[in-house]
Amino acid sequence: MPFQIVRNDITKMQVDAIVNTANPMPGYGSGVDTAVYKAAGVEELLAKRREIDVIDRGCSVITDGYRLPARYIIHTVGTAWQGGDHGEEDIIRSCYRSVFKVALDNGIETLAIPLLASGSYGFPKGIALRIALSEIEAFLADYDMELYLVVFDEKSFSLSSQLYGDIDAYINDNYVEERAKEEYNGPTAWLGGQPAGGAMMAQSMALAGDRHTGSLADAFHLDRKNRKNKKESARECREIMADHAAFDVAEDEAPLPEAPKSRPGKAKSLEEAVKNLDKTFMELVFSFADDRGLTDVEVQKRANLDRKAFSKLKCGTTRNPSKSTALALAIALELSLDDTKDLLSRAGLALSPCSKQDIIVQYFIEREVYDIYEINVALFEHKEQLLGCAAGSQ
């Protein structure tokens, strides 16, 4: 798989090389650096670092992995965040580029790298992530390598609200309500002796868990902390009240906002619609690719697929793709929502309002954001399978 995000201890990754955030001078500091030295063997690694001596900022060197599962360690030296006006971003970008060059020079095929500068160097995680994704994407556009972005724990990688502030609200509006209908048989079902109040009630109960035994208003207050749009929250509060027999809502209240609607794609001519009727999944993929002037290699890389997997689809060895692969190809081709649904149907698949993965992908398609790396960050944070590859750990 070309690129995956995994939650793991980087010192336990079974890859050709891991990346260490090193000090410029021989010795080791806090965070990843300390963990790498302890796992590799302090005496051996420190002796080698003294041989290497100073490493300039933005540069990288390679050593053996010693006691690590990884064969090599690539040490790169970043810089501390000073507000963004002192060339910090350029140095961190140089770190990524020098790491990739060292990896290529040493025949590395599988590489695990932490989110550089987001720890003790103090970079805002949103900025650190943007740098990482853009540099990784640029590198993989030209080279083939199995690359893992490794995060240690969930708390250190909570970024989707920074990148896309309304994504959680969108998921709640489009997913929680459907799950509530599915699990509790619609808004008239009873939850703990009280009639359910639609999406927000289900969400509030889920957030509260077994610990919460307070009133409906308390449940809404807990949920409201997680919503950035206060006006929307107020309207949804009225929705809860309307469903709850204990409240009276005036008939002249402002109407509730409608559920988000997908953007209509460019209208197809009858000829365009008819000519695609008999196409298989991959025939339609190549038809869209031709229309957009994309080569097979460009489609493969933009879909975050390795060459072998794409070749099997292309040659018919794999007749129909997985849902993750099909969605990845739709993103690679920058399809509208209607075209995405059409493509999925050729493989016997469909977007489901009860699938959080589908809702998240639909969110990005509706906003015409087709960067598969950013989409996979959102999927990773919500514990959903990544597009183009299987989310897993080493």
Could you read off the pLDDT of 100-123 as tens digits, one per residue?
A: 999 999 999 999 999 998 887 888
**One domain, residues 97 and 33:** yes
User: Is 282 found in the same domain as 235?
Assistant: no
Burial 26-55 (b: 16+ CB within 10 A, else e): bebeebbbebbbebbeeeebeebbeeeeeb
278 and 353 in a single domain? The answer is yes
**pLDDT for 335-352, tens place per residue?**
999 999 999 999 999 999
- The pLDDT of residue 275 is 59
* 251 part of a folded domain: no
Query: Which residues belong to the active site?
Result: 33
Same domain, 150 and 13: yes
Name the band, by pLDDT with cuts 50, 70 and 90, for residue 273: low
For residue 20, what are the contacts with CB-CB under 8 A and spacing of at least 6? 32, 33, 36, 73, 74, 75, 76
Tokens of 221: 């207050």
Residue range 238-245: mean pLDDT, rounded: 42
**pLDDT tens digits for range 278-298:** 788 999 999 999 999 999 999
Residue 173 and residue 235 in one domain: yes
Does 80 share its domain with 175? Answer: no
Q: How many domains does the chain have?
A: 3
Residues 139 and 111 in one domain: yes
Taking the C-alpha atoms of residue 175 and residue 13, their distance in angstroms, rounded to an integer, is 34
Of 157, 181, 215, the domain-final residue: 157
Structural domain boundaries enclosing 331: 270-381
Domain co-membership, 103 together with 153: yes
**206 within some domain:** yes
Inside any domain, residue 68 = yes
- Asked whether residue 393 is assigned to any structural domain, the reply reads no
392 — pLDDT class (breaks 50, 70, 90): very low
CA-wise closest residue to 304 among 389, 233, 375: 389
In sequence order, what E strands does the chain have? 3-7, 17-21, 60-64, 72-76, 110-114, 146-151, 190-191, 194-195
Residue 250 lies in a domain: no
Rounded to a whole number of angstroms, the CA Rg of the chain reads: 24
Structural domain ending residue among the three candidates 157, 192, 215 = 157
The pLDDT of residue 108: 97
First to last CA, the chain: 13
Residues above pLDDT 70, as percent of the chain: 69
pLDDT of residue 271: 61
- Of 103, 128, 157, the position where a domain reaches its end is 157
Q: Which CATH number covers residue 153?
A: 3.40.220.10
Identify whether residues 79 and 188 lie together within a single domain: no
The predicted model scores a pTM of 0.68
Same domain, 137 and 209: no
Rounded distance, CA 153 to CA 131, Å?
20
pLDDT tens per residue, range 55-90: 999 999 999 999 999 999 999 999 989 888 889 999
- What pLDDT, on a 0 to 100 scale, did the predictor assign at position 71? 97
pLDDT greater at residue 161 or residue 248: 161
Do 363 and 377 meet the contact criterion of CB atoms below 8 Å apart?
no
